[in-house]
Amino acid sequence: MNTGLDHRHLLGLSDYSAREINLILETARRFRDILNRPIKKVPTLRGITVVNLFFESSTRTRISFELAEKRLSADTVNFSASGSSVSKGESLKDTAQNIEAMKIDMVVVRHESPGAPHFLTQCVDAVVINAGDGAHEHPTQALLDMLTISDRFDSLSGLNVSIVGDILHSRVARSNIHGLLTMGANVTICGPQSLLPVHLEKMPRAGSLRITNRLEEALEGCDVAMALRIQLERQGRSLFPSMREYHEQFGIQMHHLDRYKDLIVMHPGPVNRGVELASEVVDHERAVILNQVTNGVAVRMSVLYLLSGQSSPE
Amino acid sequence: MEPNDVIKAQLMDAQDLERTLNRMARQIVEMFNLDESRASSFALIGMQSRGVHIAARIRQIILDVDGIDVPLGILDATMYRDDFRLRFKQPVVRETKIDFDIDGRDIVLVDDVLFTGRTTRAGLDALTDLGRPASVHFLVLIDRGLRELPIKADFVGKRVPTLPGEEVRVRLSEMDDKEGIWLVERPFNANNERS
């Protein structure tokens, strides 16, 4: 009987099974217990070296991975594109092979190009974990979102989850859609027409997927609303008229929480207060944004632990 | 039993098991002078997975016979194992649940089989990260010898000298379809590993 993961890397959730996702979430709950102890460290990954390869700026994901690695006693090396050989014109492949020559067991990579982690698996032997690649996937974010949801509900199966915002450019949305559908949740995606995908892949999954342009329609009967960050830095191309108008039409506000009494609100952060979520909504007891952050460390510990076994030769 | 197990001998049946647990419960009560007031400075901690059920049974015997309710904890030492690099698939991490402060307590750590001593070492390290007990004693149902570390048990159900190719199978009704302890032999698989 196979009790581990069927994959050697975590590039995305599109091909992870419900059994594997459940294993990651269950193991994450065990690791979360450690984070509540006086000594928040276990020797599990002693002797394993992990490099955090961040070609794109990131604060919380990088800190979350780094904390997870340290809690497991792994040795960590941080690499960020600015101030490195990349700014001298080194290619991804050369950077990766140089790092591998330093005997690294696992690579956590964030890159602006979709598929960069997949490319890495072809040029290095180390285990690769995707920490976000372009608009493709951000699997550990979706896993921590699913852990946060499963803390509040008995099962992900049959839950109604709405993802609101810039779906088109969002790797968080993409990973969540794959993961949630695999776990049997019903997913509604909602946003301005210009920020929705033009066509949806038909995927044979346990849950169902639908699209709407109306927030009220997305929130009616919904258990969890996930607001996505509007990337202000990308608003050079205007995909919607103004932040104010976006907030009016797609921002989750207090009157929504009043109307939908059981609705839980999530956000991958960092939040633009008054854009995706009204400021009072961010601070509301039914917003579980900080639980998501805590769960992020636990989920990353779980993924590092479960994949680290694959780093040694069979 | 596991697939491919060849049974060599039955070491205990259900009745032997009950008698052994009763005897070990007596030894614990005697050694720690257990009474109502001492119960708060004592605890049984079962190691995942079968040690948990053994510890629970001993706790129940002490409650039934002596009327003393001793605290019971669950310890999983997976994160503290030293065979990490030797494995391909990671073992499943199970729950650790100790709802009391272990500082200053006399702890009896409970496991089913004592073999190399490596799991016990991992258990001691896991316990140390949770606090500083006054003392730790160790209870096992079967001591099969072949130690690789300087570890011994304080309470032993039965000492059974074994060979490296053999395995001891403890089966408990709480989680298995039978009750008793068997000595088995495992054939090597194609990779020259015990299956």
Query: What pLDDT does B189 receive?
Result: 58
A131, A110 Cβ separation under 8 angstroms: yes
Residues in chain A closer than 8 A to B130 (CB atoms): 37, 39
Residue B92: its chain A contacts at CB < 8 A?
Answer: 3, 23, 27
What is chain A's pLDDT, residue by residue, as a tens digit (314 residues)? 467 899 999 999 999 999 999 999 999 999 999 998 888 899 999 989 999 999 988 888 999 999 999 999 999 988 877 656 666 667 888 888 887 788 899 999 999 999 999 999 998 889 999 999 999 999 999 999 999 999 999 999 999 999 999 998 899 999 999 999 999 999 999 999 888 887 777 767 888 999 999 999 999 999 999 999 987 666 556 677 788 889 999 999 999 999 999 999 999 989 999 999 999 999 999 999 999 999 999 999 999 999 987 654 43
CB contact under 8 A, A308 and B90: yes
Q: So what's the pLDDT on residue B14? A: 96
Between CA B158 and CA A54 the distance in angstroms is 56
Which site among B82, B84, B125 would you substitute to test the A interface, given the most A Cβ atoms closer than 10 Å to its Cβ? Answer: B84
Given this model, what pLDDT does residue B184 score?
A: 95
Q: Are B82 and B122 in contact (CB under 8 A)?
A: yes
Residue B163 has pLDDT above 60, yes or no: yes
Domains in chain A, CATH or no CATH each:
18-136+294-311 (3.40.50.1370), 139-292 (3.40.50.1370)
Question: Structure tokens of A27?
Answer: 């193991």
Are the Cβ atoms of A46 and B84 closer than 8 angstroms? yes
* Residue among B69, B67, B72 nearest B56 (CA): B72
Q: How far apart are CA B127 and CA B120, in angstroms?
A: 10
Write out chain B residues lying below 8 Å of A4, CB-based: 88-90
- No. of H helices and E strands in chain B? 3, 8
Q: Quick check: B8 pLDDT over 90?
A: yes
Name the residue in chain B with its Cα closest to that of A304: B90
Give the per-residue pLDDT at A3: 76
CA–CA gap between residue B182 and residue B8 (Å, rounded) = 8
Question: Is A94 strand, coil or helix?
Answer: helix
Query: Going by CATH, does the domain composed of B13-81+92-163 fall within 3.40.640.10?
Result: no
- Rg value, chain B, Cα: 17
In the block, residue with structure tokens 């609303």: A225
Q: Kindly state the tokens that stand for A265.
A: 């609100």
Contact A305 B94 (CB under 8 A): no
CB B40 within 8 A of CB B34: no
Average pLDDT, chain B: 91
Rounded to an integer, what distance in angstroms lies between the CA atom of residue B162 and that of residue B166? Answer: 7
In chain A, residues with a C-beta closer than 8 Å to the C-beta of B129 are 37, 39, 41-42
Contact criterion met (CB below 8 Å) for A116 and A95:
no
Whole-number pLDDT of residue B195: 44
B130 contacts A312? CB cut-off 8 A: no
Which residue among B87, B129, B130 places its CB closest to the CB of A309?
Answer: B87
Chain B residues whose CB is inside 8 A of the A314 CB are 88
Contact across the interface for A309 and B96, Cβ inside 8 Å? no
Q: Output the pLDDT for position B87.
A: 55
Query: What's the DSSP call for residue A228?
Result: P
How confident is the model at residue B122, as a pLDDT? 95
pLDDT digits (tens, 9 = 90+) for B31-72: 999 998 999 999 999 999 899 999 999 999 999 999 999 999
Task: Residue A305: list chain B partners with CB under 8 A.
Answer: 79, 90, 93
| Helix axis angle, B14-31 to B50-66, nearest 10° | 70
A7, closest residue in chain B (CA to CA): B89
Domain ranges of chain B: 13-81+92-163
The pLDDT assigned to A88 comes to 64
pLDDT digits 0-9 by tens, B122-143: 999 999 999 999 999 999 999 9
User: What residue of B is the nearest CA neighbor of A37?
Assistant: B130
How many contacts does A have with B, using Cβ atoms within 8 A? Answer: 58
Test B88 with A46 for CB contact under 8 angstroms: no
Please calculate the CA angle A153-A159-A160 and round it to the nearest 5 degrees.
Answer: 130
**Partners of residue A306 in chain B, C-beta under 8 Å:** 90
Q: What is the pTM of this model?
A: 0.88
Q: Which residues contact B69 (CB under 8 A, 6 or more apart)?
A: B39, B63
Q: Nearest-CA distance from A216 to chain B in Å?
A: 41
CA-nearest residue to A25 within chain B is B93
- What tens digit of pLDDT does each residue of B69-106 get? 999 999 999 999 877 655 557 788 999 999 999 999 99
Distance of CA A200 to the CA centre of its chain: 20
